[in-house]
Amino acid sequence: MDALVLLGSFFVLMILGVPVAYALGMASLIGALWIQLPLDAVMIQIASGVNKFSLLAIPFFVLAGAIMAEGGMARRLVDFAGVLVGFMRGGLSLVNILASTFFGAISGSSVADTASIGSVLIPEMERKGYPRDFATAVTVSGSIQATLIPPSHNAVIYSLAAGGSVSIAALFVAGVLPGLLLGLTLAVLCLVTAHKRKFPVGERISLRKALRIAVDALWGLMTMFIILGGILSGIFTATESASIAVLWAFFVTMFIYRDYQWSDLPKLMHRTVKTVTIVMMLIGFAASFGYLMTLMQIPAKATAFFVGVADSKIMILLMINVMLLLLGTLMDMAPLILICTPILLPVVTGLGVDPVHFGMIMIINLGMGLITPPVGSVLFVGSAVSKLPIGVVAHALKPFFIALLIVLGLVTYFPALSLWLPRALGL
């Protein structure tokens, strides 16, 4: 009955249109009153939930990504990707995927990826003869790489939701191979589609121009080498790398590229603070919600339920995948990570699944929710950028969604895709 009161009040508040963060906080208060827990304990959990040094990585990475997104980095990455793959049939679709790979390794945000890459490439692809719905579907699906490739904000949130027991550095490195596999799978789909639908062959770029484009893009690309290289070499932690990324992004944008006006910086800072405030409120309220779930033994009950329904690790992971895919259509990624991780992590670790591996499973799963209606935030951004109805974009996404399901299956049942690189690096 305790679990029904806590979870039921949360879902009722969601149905009534209460924002997720406030619904978590109010449900925590209702649950505390139900079990006669002093409300002081709830307040303490909210405060302690955001009083963590590792959380500083989130505002710094958000700010670094915002500076790069608005400072001309997206256009330079598109040009550089065009040098590498733009000359093939359907080359612009490959440019789109590769540019998302590069930009995801800088911003860590699928929404920023879709907005920046899409605003450059969707009109260009349409001008070159690609259907606008296809161009939008490529952009939206390719942006999911940002949820996996470091510096992924969601990896930081997962580490927090796991109680800080999972290394952020290990999660960052674990996301490299699944992220590249996702990009490669989408690229193969784009190539097959391009030959089937006779998309245009791209133009070859002269060596002189290609070198100039590469040098211009190198300044921005160095951001991901600074982040990963610094972490892996032990020079600084994942949190410290975020602040270094901000300084580097600011230097490159304002002194190298010089496409951004100094007068626009206060507005950018204001938008970043608003974004981070929402995330921090969500994390604080989710901490109290998770505390009450623990008191009510919801994780233990979930473990008993899954083990009672199926005794095979393969089947339990399949059930969890289906459940997360369904939940991802109804709620955004960050709150689902914060809510589901404390419940599901004990279930899978009891089956022998590594927490880092499960992090990758969860991130891919919920990342797919970002592009599915009715609440897919990345889908909405893609629709707004392309000026197409959401239903049209969702229909064009069907083959890409199948490709993402294939990647999800491979990452779920082949743990080495997630764990080989962290273990090889001793993380």
Q: Give residue 413's pLDDT band: very low, low, confident or very high (50, 70, 90).
A: very high
Cα–Cα distance measured from residue 245 to residue 169, given in angstroms and rounded to the nearest whole number: 15
Model confidence pLDDT, tens digit, residues 18-58: 887 888 888 888 888 888 888 888 888 888 877 877 777 78
Q: Using alpha carbons, list the distances in angstroms from residue 29 to 43, 109, 330, 334, 371.
A: 9, 32, 23, 21, 32
Tokens of 185: 């799978």
Residue indicated by tokens 């490669």: 184
> Using CA atoms in the order 372, 377, 381, 387, what is the torsion angle rounded to 10 degrees?
50
Q: Give residue 15's pLDDT band: very low, low, confident or very high (50, 70, 90).
A: confident
Average pLDDT (125-149) is: 88
Burial (CB < 10 A; 0-12, 13-18, 19+), residue 151, is buried
Report pLDDT for 189: 92
The model's pTM is: 0.84
Report pLDDT for 182: 94
Report pLDDT for 235: 78
Q: Give residue 184's pLDDT band: very low, low, confident or very high (50, 70, 90).
A: very high
Cα–Cα distance measured from residue 75 to residue 391, given in angstroms and rounded to the nearest whole number: 28
Q: Using alpha carbons, list the distances in angstroms from residue 292 to 34, 45, 218, 332.
A: 11, 10, 48, 21
Residue 198 φ/ψ region, left for φ over 0, alpha for ψ in the -120 to 50 degree band, beta for the rest: left
Look at residues 204, 197, 248 and name the one whose alpha carbon lies nearest to residue 222. Answer: 248
Report pLDDT for 406: 94
Report pLDDT for 357: 95
For residue 278, the surrounding DSSP H or E stretch is: helix 265-295
Q: Give residue 177's pLDDT band: very low, low, confident or very high (50, 70, 90).
A: very high
Q: How far apart are the first and last CA of the chain?
A: 41
The values of phi and psi at residue 377, to 5°, are -65, -40
Q: Give residue 339's pLDDT band: very low, low, confident or very high (50, 70, 90).
A: confident
